[in-house]
Amino acid sequence: MNKGNHVIVGISGGVDSAVAACLLIEEGFTVTGLNIKVLDNTEENPNLSPSPMVISDLEDFRFPVYTLNLSDSFHNDVISYFIHDYLGGRTPNPCMVCNKLIKWKGLFKGAELLRADSVATGHYARIECNDGSCRLFKGSDNQKDQSYFLWMLETGDISRTLFPLGNLTKTEVRKHARRFRVKAAEKKESQEICFVPGNDYRQYLASSLPGIEERLKGGDIVDPSGSVIGYHAGYPFYTIGQRKGLGVSSPKPLYVNRLDPDTNRVHVGGKELLQCRKLKAGSMNWIGIDRPETPLLCAARIRYRDKEEPCRIVPLGKGTVEVLFDKPKQSVTPGQAVVFYRNDEVIGGGIIQEALPDPT
């Protein structure tokens, strides 16, 4: 695991990052914590400043923690992207963008200022380095594996990163937390988007964009034949695969299968219309392999809890690819990530741009 003696560890206040830091100390590393503020709108100095955060009650596992205020960058790079994607009829995943543009950017800035050798986080993923080349793998705990969110990291980022929890289960991490007397040992996990109160993205959009409901409500809800069967509350407030809250009656269940910002229409149909074998993706990033110039066989997920399925990647140029799955996928959603795997190794990923008609 050794990538230098001094490590900057991202400290979130949760059990995972605290245990990651303590494990590194136990292995003999010099650890400095970095807490990255993303929602602080005060005009305090954005440079590093010591934080009073205390991770462990044990003297041997106490270490300095600094704070880096990246709230402006977070608003410009993550929140603005989140809002822009919904207005574009897409469903964004802000966590993966935050990892690349905020967390790792901040950690490497901290490493530069504090002259550290590498950075570390509490993510459940693994890194293997051989002959100077580093590759990204799933975490050993299938229930906690977070490799899906890390596809945007470049090979250079990975080569300077440590994941101390990669070979552990969540149960084992909590046991270590109690052993280290970590203050957050029993803290419950949050599955919410950190900047969206109550995880209600619709209310967040409405409050962030005053008047959006009045401007967009009343658009058509359209069935597969093109008939208008109802009117919606604004296309950004709907997601692909949504069934509840459509406000239309039908003899069979209807699901959102397409959002059209240009016409302010929400397209609905039967569940069978959500199945798709082909998609187009862009903003590609490749890890541990060269950018494919010819078709590539691998497996892929189209969302965090998705099951990987065999697929064929066809490069299109300009950072885009077509992905053809062996079996139909359910609810291919523009704005989400498609992440590519070879067994347990992450070899790349991209942002889904659109679902494509199945090949005949």
Please identify every residue annotated as catalytic. Answer: 98, 194
Could you tell me which residues come within 8 angstroms of residue 69 by beta carbon, excluding any fewer than 6 positions away? 37, 40, 44, 45, 46
d(CA 43, CA 41): 6
Q: Is 130 exposed, middle or buried (0-12, 13-18, 19+ CB in 10 A)?
A: exposed
Please list, in sequence order, all residues whose beta carbon lies within 8 angstroms of the beta carbon of residue 175, skipping any fewer than 6 positions away: none
CA 254, CA 331: separation in Å to the nearest integer?
A: 13
The half-sphere exposure of 210 on its side-chain side, counting CA atoms within 13 A, is 0
Q: Give, in order, the Cα–Cα distances in Å from 124 to each of 167, 173, 268, 272.
A: 8, 10, 37, 35
Residue with tokens 């959009």: 205
CB of 152 within 8 A of CB of 96?
yes
Pair 355, 348: CB distance under 8 Å: no
Q: Which residues pair with 276 in a beta bridge?
A: 329
